[in-house]
Amino acid sequence: MRFGYSADCLDHDAGDRHPESPARLRAIREGLDGRYGVEYVEAPPADRETVECVHDSEYIEDLSAFCEAGGGSWDPDTVAVEATWDAAFRSAGLATWAAERALAGDDGRDAPFSLGRPPGHHAVADDAMGFCFLNNVAVAAAHALDADADRVAVLDWDVHHGNGTQDLFYDRDDVCYVSLHEDGLYPGTGDGTEVGDDEGEGATLNLPLPAGSGDVDYTTALDRVVTPALSAYDPDLLLVSAGFDAHRHDPISRTRVSTEGFANLTARVRAFADETDAALGFVLEGGYRLDVLADSVGTVQEVFDGYDPTDPEGDLEPGVEDLFSDLETEHPLL
């Protein structure tokens, strides 16, 4: 795989006790060291015009002034330093690079994965929240629509609901947002009944999974709900908001996906893109236990390097069957 990476993203530092730390990127790089077929690309920062396709210019001005004055706590979770400005624009630029390279036809061993931070999927049009300042994947989607793509889908498998990404495109039909997340976690949005508004009705699909869900629930979700919905939507570009905090060893959730489970998800997404000719790129979101974050990114890379994971076996968690069958009967894409 080709990984979008910039040392600028190490300079955003929310403090020693903050889980979203520069050590995350260092751990990922160490984990990828010595693996065959890993390449790094440094892409330029996002330009302000593209960022302002999804964020209000007034918010961007406020963020600029906040960082220039040395930063501080934007809210209790979301902390900036002066260098956060450059890191955030670089992070959005790396996501944009991933979308561009995917649309240019890079796939298989050249498939793009942007390793930016701060992450993005909680950031809304006029506010930073949940460790996120600029909505990287949304900026990338807006850029793709401006270039070659007519329809972009975002599959968000971070354990938290990407309220920002959903919100930015909620009434539009040119971006489809699909999220698998742990029910009841921050920020509390992402109910199955949230399906989009106006022209965007049906272009939002939420799967709030109960705490304790794991590999069988996630792979079955892709087979029964997510892949059929994405096929119906038929995107030109699929961007994965790839957080790894649904991992069973991640301290921030009670979801129990294994490293192999992320390989299963990756294999399904890759097969979907191959079968439908959709361009495919990955954008890093969360993931807070360093060793399993590094292993999980490594396993995504292995799948693009030819690794074929074995499907998990077992039963669905209680409540998951009802969620899937409700969506199968009621969601406009299914």
Active-site annotation holds for 247:
no
- Work out whether 160 is an interface residue with Zn ion (CB under 5 A): yes
For 272, residues 6+ apart whose C-beta sits below 8 A from its C-beta are 227, 230, 231, 238, 278
Q: Which of 55, 122, 160, 181 is catalytic?
A: 122
- Work out whether 117 is an interface residue with Zn ion (CB under 5 A): no
Choose one: 139-147, 154-162, 197-205, 311-319; the region binding Zn ion (CB under 5 A).
154-162
What is the x/- site pattern for Zn ion, positions 171-200, by CB under 5 A? ------------------------------
What is the x/- site pattern for Zn ion, positions 282-311, by CB under 5 A? ----x-------------------------
Q: What is the rounded distance in angstroms from the CA atom of residue 229 to the CA atom of residue 223? A: 10
The token pair at 284 is: 């890093």
Given the complex with Zn ion, which of 134 and 279 has the nearer CB atom?
A: 134
Question: Nearest approach, Cβ of 35 to Zn ion (angstroms)?
Answer: 25
If we measure between CA atoms, which residue out of 134, 49, 56 comes closest to residue 91?
134
Torsion angle defined by CA atoms of residues 329, 268, 291 and 38, in that order, rounded to the nearest 10 degrees: -150
Write out the H or E segment, with its range, that includes residue 230: helix 227-233
Count of C-beta atoms within a 10 Å radius of residue 281: 30
Phi and psi torsions of 264, nearest 5°: -60, -45
Q: Which of 243, 281, 298, 309 binds Zn ion (CB under 5 A)?
A: 243
Given the complex with Zn ion, which of 157 and 233 has the nearer CB atom?
A: 157
Question: Nearest approach, Cβ of 153 to Zn ion (angstroms)?
Answer: 19
Q: What is the rounded distance in angstroms from the CA atom of residue 266 to the CA atom of residue 22? A: 25
Q: Which of 8, 167, 245, 317 binds Zn ion (CB under 5 A)?
A: 245
Catalytic machinery residues: 122
Q: Would you tell me which residues interact with Zn ion (CB under 5 A)?
A: 158, 160, 243, 245, 286
